[in-house]
Structure formats: C-alpha cells, structure tokens
C-alpha cells in the first residue's frame, strides 16, 4: 500500500485527493489536528491519532493543537483545569506512539496579530454561516452564546497561523474546514475521519455522554462495556461494535465459539465479517466477545506506557 492509499484508508473523505497527492511530493509538509482537552481519551480520539500516525509515516511533521481556549469557549471548564487535562492528553497521545509538536492555543491565540486576523475573518463570515459550522460541535443548542460564532473563526485562523498543508478532523469539523478553504489564501487539504457511534447507539462516542471505551480502560471494563453495547443482529449501520471491528481490528480474525455453535470461525477481512453478520451467520455475542478480546490486546501497550 503506497503512502496515499494508507492515508486514505478508513477516511470518510479527503478534500481534495488530487491536492493531497501534490502535497505528498513536497520534501517538507505538515499536518495538524486540534483537540479540546478531554478528561477521557477514547476510541474516537484514537481513530484520529491513528490517522496522524499514518501521516507521520508518510513524512509529515505533525502538530497537535491542544485547544484550551476553544474548550473554554465551548464551556468545558476554567482555563487552568483545561490545561491540566491537556497535559494528560499529551501523555496519552505519546503513549499511542505519536511523535508530534504539541501547541496550546493560548500560546498564540492571544497575540495581537492573531486577534486582528480574527477580526478580518469575522468581516468575511456571515453569522448564519458561522453558527451552521458549529451545529455538530457546540454544547449549548437551546441558548447559544456569542462564543459559538467566535469558535469557528478562530479555528480557521489557527490553520492560517500554523501554516499547515493538511487539516485533520472528524466529519463534524467539515463545515469549519470548508470555511477555511474559502477564506484563507492557501487552500488546506482536509482529511475527515468517520465519527464513531457511541456504545449506546445514540449519537457519537463522547466522554461527556459516557458512551465510550477509554484507551486506558481495564480489560474488565472493556469486556463489560462491549457486552452491554448496542449491537442488533444483522444490522451494520449505526452499530458501534461493527464500527470498532472495521476501524481497529486486524484481519484475519479468529472468532472463538463453542463447538455446539459451529466452533471457531476465521474471518479474513472486514467485508467478510460484515457479510456473515448481515446474514446472521455470526451471533452478536460471539462478535462482542471477539471484539472485546482484540481491543484489550490493541490497547494493552497504551495502558502499560501510561
């Protein structure tokens, strides 16, 4: 698999693929992703970090923006608390094997030149467009604050200020990234990863909703969470267990089953797993048991490093 195909693997979209191919030809290239510091780093974060590692292996310099001011604007707590959580996040990302430059937003977002450019971008952005770009990100839906429209303009300005070639995020970031491509003189390549479904099957995996598997969960916790997770027989769409099997597991995969239920099953690809599950030749509990044990093995090195 060449560098482009490895980067493209398991993404939701790349805007645009041709632009990415051109960036790959450069000797020096950089990619960034921003995270609001979070108390628990879960599989949704890990999916993003795995993509940053793909980019790192393709020769990109990686920047992780620990977006403390964005988290503050999104009502995630006081700045000193947010920064403390950011240091924990950095340790977890390093334990995942990512080599990156870590930058706090507050290190540059309070500079005079940065602030002036936020004002320039604000003059070019309609209120409707700014609010629409936050639909999948903002915490306050019923009674939105002015901070909600400052947030996306700052994120656009971050891309300009960091001078990166590639911006990475989940699909919830798409509208902000498209705004950046319109407003900034340099069109950044945007790589969007899927948004993982929460274990309850309702909305995205989120630390605030508690519907997640943390990368430092114990084996016992992982087994218990997977066992209780939403996983309707024969249904793939919106099934968090099937998503984990698609984005995290390696194949061929051995699914252990009692002899009376057909014995062990060797699955050579995710596509084969999906076919077996849709045809109800694989029981949800057998799938869950296999996913839990594989996840424990995948996450064990991270737990040990932490």
| Boundaries of domain holding 284 | 219-305
Last residue of a domain, one of 145, 177, 193: 193
Q: What Rg value do the Cα atoms of the chain yield, rounded?
A: 20
Does residue 168 sit within a domain?
Answer: yes
Ligand-binding annotation for 119, yes or no, is no
Ligand-binding annotation for 207, yes or no, is yes
Last residue of a domain, one of 158, 178, 193: 193
- In terms of domains, do 227 and 183 share one? no
- In terms of domains, do 54 and 110 share one? yes
- In terms of domains, do 235 and 142 share one? no
Query: Rounded CA gap, 108 and 120, in Å?
Result: 17
Ligand-binding annotation for 200, yes or no, is no
Q: What is the pLDDT of residue 138?
A: 65
Does residue 141 sit within a domain?
Answer: yes
Query: Rounded CA gap, 132 and 175, in Å?
Result: 8
Q: What is the pLDDT of residue 137?
A: 75
- In terms of domains, do 108 and 144 share one? yes
- In terms of domains, do 228 and 127 share one? no
Give the dihedral of Cα atoms 38, 240, 167, 62; nearest 10 deg: 60
- In terms of domains, do 44 and 107 share one? yes
Per-10-residue mean pLDDT of the chain, 306 residues long, equals: 96 98 98 93 97 98 98 92 96 97 98 98 94 76 82 97 98 96 97 98 89 97 98 98 98 94 94 98 97 98 94
- In terms of domains, do 70 and 154 share one? yes
Going by their DSSP bridges, the two strands 61-66 and 189-193 should be labelled as unpaired
Burial class (CB in 10 A: 0-12, 13-18, 19+), 259: exposed
- In terms of domains, do 189 and 239 share one? no
């Amino acid at each position: 698999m060449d560098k482009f195909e490895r980067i493209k693997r398991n993404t939701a979209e790349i805007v645009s693929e041709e632009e990415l191919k051109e960036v790959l030809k450069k000797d020096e290239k950089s990619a960034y992703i921003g995270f609001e510091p979070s108390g628990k780093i879960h599989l949704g974060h890990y999916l993003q970090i795995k993509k940053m590692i793909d980019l790192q292996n393709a020769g990109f310099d990686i920047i992780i923006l620990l977006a403390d001011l964005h988290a503050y604007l999104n009502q995630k707590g006081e700045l000193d608390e947010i920064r403390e959580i950011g240091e924990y996040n950095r340790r977890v990302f390093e334990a995942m094997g990512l080599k990156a430059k870590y930058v706090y937003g507050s290190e540059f977002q309070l500079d005079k030149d940065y602030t002036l450019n936020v004002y320039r971008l604000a003059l070019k952005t309609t209120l409707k467009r700014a609010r629409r770009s936050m639909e999948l990100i903002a915490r306050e839906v019923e009674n939105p604050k002015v901070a909600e429209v400052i947030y996306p303009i700052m994120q656009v300005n971050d891309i300009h200020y960091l001078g990166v070639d590639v911006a990475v995020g989940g699909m919830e970031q798409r509208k902000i990234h498209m705004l950046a491509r319109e407003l900034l003189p340099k069109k950044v390549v945007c790589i969007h990863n899927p948004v993982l479904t929460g274990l309850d099957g309702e909305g995205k995996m989120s630390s605030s909703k508690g519907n997640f598997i943390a990368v430092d969960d114990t084996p016992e916790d992982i087994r218990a969470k997977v066992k209780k997770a939403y996983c309707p027989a024969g249904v793939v769409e919106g099934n968090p267990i099937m998503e984990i099997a698609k984005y995290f597991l390696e194949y061929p995969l051995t699914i252990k089953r009692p002899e009376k239920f057909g014995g062990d099953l060797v699955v050579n690809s995710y596509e084969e797993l999906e076919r077996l599950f849709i045809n109800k030749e694989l029981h949800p509990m057998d799938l869950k048991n296999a996913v839990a044990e594989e996840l424990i093995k995948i996450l064990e090195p991270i737990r040990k490093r932490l």
